[in-house]
Structure 1
Amino acid sequence: MKNLFLFTFWVLAGMSAQGQPAANADSTHVLFVGNSLTYYHDMPQMLQAMLAEGGHTVRIHQSTVPGMSLRGHLDQIITRMDGESTYTRPKMDGEITGTENALREREWDVVVLQEGTVPVMIPEARAFLVAPAIASSKAYLNAPCRFILFNTWAADTTYPRRYCYPSGLIDASLPDDAYCSGEFGNLSEHTRALNAGYEELAKAANMEKSNHGDLFERIRNDHGEIDLFDDAFHPSAAGAFLNACEFYYLLTGSNPTALEYTGPLDADQAQTLKRVVDRYHQ
Structure 2
Amino acid sequence: MFVGNSLTYYHDMPGMLQAMLSEKGHPVRIHQSTVPGMSLRGHFTQMITALTDSTAFTRGKMAGELTGTENKLLERNWNVVILQTGTVEALIPESRNLSVSPAIARTKSYLGGPARIILFNTWASDTTYPLQFCQPGAIIHPSLRSRPYCSETLDNLARHTGAINSGYAKLAADNGVEKSNHGDLFLEMRNLHAEVGLFDDAFHPSPAGSFLNACEFYFLLTGEKAADLDFNGPVPSPKAALLKQVVDRYHEDGNRIRKNPN
TM-score range, shorter chain: over 0.9
1:230-241 aligned within 5 A: 230-241=200-211
Alpha-carbon distance between aligned partners in 2 of 1:74 and 1:46, rounded to the nearest angstrom: 27
Q: Which moved more, 1:255-264 or 1:83-92?
A: 83-92
Structure 1: gaps spanning 5 or more residues: 1-30
- Write 1 or 2 for the structure with the bigger share of helix: 2
Alpha-carbon distance between aligned partners in 1 of 2:146 and 2:77, rounded to the nearest angstrom: 42
1:61 aligned onto 2:31: yes
Q: Which of residues 199, 222, 240 is equivalent to 1:229?
A: 199
Structure 1, residues 21-80: CA drift from partner, whole Å, max 9, x if none? xxxxxxxxxx00000000000000000111111121111100000001111111111001
Alpha-carbon distance between aligned partners in 2 of 1:235 and 1:89, rounded to the nearest angstrom: 28
1:184-223 aligned within 5 A: 184-223=154-193
Q: Which of residues 22, 25, 38 is equivalent to 1:52?
A: 22
What residue is the counterpart of 2:109 in the other structure?
A: 139
Q: Which amino acid aligns with 2:7?
A: L
What residue is the counterpart of 2:68 in the other structure?
A: 98
Q: Which of residues 124, 148, 169 is equivalent to 2:118?
A: 148
What residue is the counterpart of 1:121 in the other structure?
A: 91
Alpha-carbon distance between aligned partners in 2 of 1:274 and 1:134, rounded to the nearest angstrom: 30
Q: Which amino acid aligns with 1:131?
A: S
Alpha-carbon distance between aligned partners in 2 of 1:46 and 1:122, rounded to the nearest angstrom: 31
Q: Which amino acid aligns with 2:188?
A: R
Alpha-carbon distance between aligned partners in 2 of 1:177 and 1:98, rounded to the nearest angstrom: 32
Alpha-carbon distance between aligned partners in 2 of 1:178 and 1:213, rounded to the nearest angstrom: 25
Q: CA deviation at 1:83?
A: 3.0
CA RMSD of aligned residues (A): 0.8
What residue is the counterpart of 1:75 in the other structure?
A: 45
Q: CA deviation at 1:82?
A: 2.8
What residue is the counterpart of 1:180 in the other structure?
A: 150
- Structure 1: which 4+ aligned runs deviate by more than 4 Å? none
What residue is the counterpart of 1:34 in the other structure?
A: 4
Q: CA deviation at 1:172?
A: 2.2
Structure 1, residues 232-260: CA drift from partner, whole Å, max 9, x if none? 11100000000000000000000000111
Alpha-carbon distance between aligned partners in 2 of 1:242 and 1:193, rounded to the nearest angstrom: 21
Q: Which moved more, 1:233-242 or 1:74-83?
A: 74-83
Give % identity. 62
What residue is the counterpart of 2:260 in the other structure?
A: none
SS in 1 for 2:98: helix
Alpha-carbon distance between aligned partners in 1 of 2:84 and 2:67, rounded to the nearest angstrom: 17
Number of residues paired by the alignment? Answer: 252
Alpha-carbon distance between aligned partners in 2 of 1:95 and 1:160, rounded to the nearest angstrom: 43
SS in 2 for 1:60: coil
Q: Which amino acid aligns with 1:54?
A: K
Alpha-carbon distance between aligned partners in 2 of 1:235 and 1:180, rounded to the nearest angstrom: 25
Alpha-carbon distance between aligned partners in 1 of 2:98 and 2:58, rounded to the nearest angstrom: 20
Alpha-carbon distance between aligned partners in 1 of 2:148 and 2:155, rounded to the nearest angstrom: 20
Alpha-carbon distance between aligned partners in 2 of 1:169 and 1:92, rounded to the nearest angstrom: 19
Return the TM-score normalized by structure 1. 0.88
What residue is the counterpart of 2:259 in the other structure?
A: none
